[in-house]
């Protein structure tokens, strides 16, 4: 019986793309290869740009990024610690999170560096003025230089702003930027700071803005933990930077009426604007609900993560009402409120609704 060769499919020619790729800093927006959010980042910055790269900061949803990283947690003997003095995590191409080494200062504050098309913003400056122990300016300068090289920019103006100039754990490093070229330092005295933001008449109501070039950061007065407290909102990443007002740790309330009012404003703000995460100035809490590290601890291997869900604004407001007018501490799974009492206050009464789990022993 005669045999016939099996038929083979005829290969089809590779289709020619009708899309002309563009390199404006966002890659090819029309390609459809990137899911929503990813296409809004600088994932396709030209390797050798011939002109300054201009980024489009308009987003459908928060810009993509990653903060899945463990922070350095110090040492039992601080003098033997060999971790970097400043830990740097790049959330995305235009957003950096920096943390001071806990063995340099036990509060290990966070600072945030944000870039736009016309400049950069550094939020807070850490707890140590001496650059030999805490080289914040050198670190920020290195990041800015590299960022500028990638985008063919010789000059990147910098603004340095505090969530509170009264908070010594957030404002001491500001002196390192004195005299730095192309740098604007927001004044820290309360009345001068109000004038700088144009809030002298409306404070603590109203808002102000810091325009980084198509990435406009909103400034929201939020006194309560400090008289001069402000929060910053980034509509690109949908981050709300709250400093000492709300963070996973021991929150010391200096004026409970201001504190409640500030949380009410943040709650209303979060109802109008999308908030992905609340990012505070420190971490004191362990990953065990309600348990926190004592002051001056330089070894914190079981810290809670930095980022807080926006729903915690509502929870903080609920319990801020409860402590208002009372000298007491109140424990919640993700923070502890101290109103009118020492930050070293202890309580034997464990609150209902908070699992009482023994904290692990340090390894």
Q: In what order do the strands lie in the sheet with 336-339?
A: 250-253, 336-339, 328-331
pLDDT at 45: 66
pLDDT at 254: 97
pLDDT at 53: 87
* Cα gap 168→146, rounded to integer Å: 30
Closest CA to 235 of 122, 95, 96: 95
Assess contact for 147 and 241: CB atoms under 8 A.
no
116 DSSP assignment: -
Assess contact for 346 and 291: CB atoms under 8 A.
no
pLDDT at 44: 53
Closest CA to 126 of 83, 165, 183, 171: 171
With helix as H, strand as E and coil as C, how does 13-59 read?
CCCCCCCCCCCCCCCCCCCCCCCCCHHHCCCCCCCCCCCCCCCCCCC
pLDDT at 50: 80
pLDDT at 174: 98
pLDDT at 149: 92
pLDDT at 349: 84
Helix, strand, or coil here: 280?
strand
pLDDT at 23: 36
pTM, two decimal places? 0.87
Domains present along the chain, CATH in parentheses: 78-339 (3.60.15.10)
Residue-wise pLDDT tens for the chain (363 aa)? 444 444 444 544 444 434 333 333 334 444 444 444 444 444 556 677 788 888 889 878 899 999 877 899 999 999 999 999 999 999 999 999 999 999 999 999 999 999 999 999 999 999 999 999 999 999 999 999 999 999 999 999 999 999 999 999 999 999 999 999 999 999 999 999 999 999 999 999 999 999 999 999 999 999 999 999 999 999 999 999 999 999 999 999 999 999 999 999 999 999 999 999 999 999 999 999 999 999 999 999 999 999 999 999 999 999 999 999 999 999 999 999 999 999 999 888 898 889 999 988 765
Beta strands in the chain (DSSP E): 86-92, 95-100, 110-115, 120-123, 158-161, 183-185, 208-211, 216-221, 230-234, 239-243, 250-253, 277-280, 328-331, 336-339
């Amino acid at each position: 019986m005669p045999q016939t060769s099996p038929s083979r499919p005829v290969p089809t020619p590779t289709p020619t793309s009708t899309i002309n790729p563009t390199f404006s800093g966002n890659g090819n927006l029309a390609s459809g290869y990137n899911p929503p959010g990813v296409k809004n980042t600088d994932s396709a910055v030209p390797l050798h740009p011939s002109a300054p790269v201009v980024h489009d900061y308009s987003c459908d949803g928060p810009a993509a990024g990653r903060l899945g990283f463990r922070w350095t947690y110090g040492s039992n003997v601080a003098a033997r610690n060999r971790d970097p003095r400043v830990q740097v995590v790049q959330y995305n191409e235009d957003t950096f999170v920096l943390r001071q080494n806990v063995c340099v200062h036990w509060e290990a504050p966070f600072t945030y560096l944000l870039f736009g098309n016309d400049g950069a913003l550094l939020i807070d400056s850490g707890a140590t003025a001496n650059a030999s122990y805490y080289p914040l300016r050198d670190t920020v300068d290195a990041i800015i230089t590299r960022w500028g090289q990638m985008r063919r920019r010789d000059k990147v103006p910098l603004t340095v702003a505090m969530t509170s100039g009264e908070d010594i754990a957030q404002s001491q490093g500001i002196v390192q930027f004195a005299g730095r070229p192309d740098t604007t330092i927001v004044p820290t005295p309360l009345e001068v700071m109000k004038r700088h933001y144009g809030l002298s008449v409306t404070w603590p109501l109203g808002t102000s803005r810091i325009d980084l070039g198509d990435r406009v950061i909103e400034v929201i007065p939020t006194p309560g933990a400090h008289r001069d407290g402000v929060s910053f909102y980034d509509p690109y990443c949908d981050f709300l930077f709250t400093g000492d007002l709300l963070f996973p740790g021991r929150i010391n309330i200096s004026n409970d009426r201001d504190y409640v009012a500030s949380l009410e404003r943040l709650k209303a703000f979060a109802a109008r604007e999308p908030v992905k995460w609340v990012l505070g100035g420190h971490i004191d809490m362990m990953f065990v609900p309600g348990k926190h590290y004592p002051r001056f601890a330089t070894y914190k291997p079981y810290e809670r993560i930095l980022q807080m869900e926006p729903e915690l604004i509502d929870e903080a407001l609920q319990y801020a009402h409860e402590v208002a007018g009372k000298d007491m501490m109140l424990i919640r799974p993700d923070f502890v409120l101290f109103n009118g009492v020492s930050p070293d206050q202890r309580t034997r009464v464990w609150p209902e609704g908070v699992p009482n789990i023994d904290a692990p022993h340090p390894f």
